[in-house]
Structure 1
Amino acid sequence: MSASSEAADSSGLSSRGKAILQQNCGRCHAIEAAGESPLKQAPPMRDIYARFAPRELQAELREGMVSRHRAMPQIDFSDEDVDAILAYLYALATQK
């Protein structure tokens, strides 16, 4: 695979991850590189990404992150969705 096609694949995966977060998490959590979360007590996804080791966050997403906040839905993301979410959050973390 060439470097340009690899970058395109990574960009597509990252875009898919952003869409997944927007659909499932964006109602409460900020999903962009900056800005406040719509729900004050919900940490931005970029902060959640910074708190966990990658493998730990990967496992949490696959198993459905558990929160002390009762209204937070527990979503068991597929392996493909988790890969896309992590690609997006990684892209956010590295663009600074």
Structure 2
Amino acid sequence: MRALLFSLVFIATAASSAAVQAQDNTAFADNVARGKALVVKYCSGCHAVELTGNSPHPKAPPFRTLSERFPLDALEETFIGTIDTGHPGMPVFKASQDQIDAIIAYIGSVMQ
């Protein structure tokens, strides 16, 4: 009887963990999708934002190669408040923390 009870508790815990994991995966995928929409709208005029392709602006690094210049966690600090790296021609984009999180999630999904 104890073994059966233990098995039922284990199965219920595993099922609950799987449901939470599925929700986390969905939330992460939604965040990545929001980030992609933002970078397509605000960044793709200069940067390559996909897994392939060249940046329209020759001096704008493709997002997939940003890890060669910055660790992903350093990008968040750069984006807090305004997304402005200080180089000429880059528009200033005021971003909420949710938008920054989404952009960082998307960039992380395409970085090499």
2:94 paired residue number? 76
Cα RMSD, aligned residues only = 1.7
1:17 paired residue number? 35
Tell me which amino acid in the other structure corresponds to 2:64.
R
Largest Rg, 1 or 2:
2
2:50 paired residue number? 32
State, as a whole percentage, how many aligned pairs show the same letter: 29
Give secondary structure in 2 for the equivalent of 1:2.
helix
The structure, 1 or 2, with the larger RCO (C-alpha pairs under 8 Å, 6+ apart) is 1
1:65 paired residue number? 84
Deviation at 1:48, TM superposition (A): 2.2
The 4+ residue runs of structure 1 with deviation greater than 4 A are none
Q: Which one is further off, 15-24 or 49-58?
A: 49-58
- Per the alignment, do residues 20 and 29 of structure 1 end up closer, same or farther by CA in structure 2, a change over 3 Å counting? same
Separation (CA, whole Å) in 2 of partners of 1:37 and 1:67: 18
Alignment TM-score, normalising by the size of structure 2: 0.73
Deviation at 1:92, TM superposition (A): 1.7
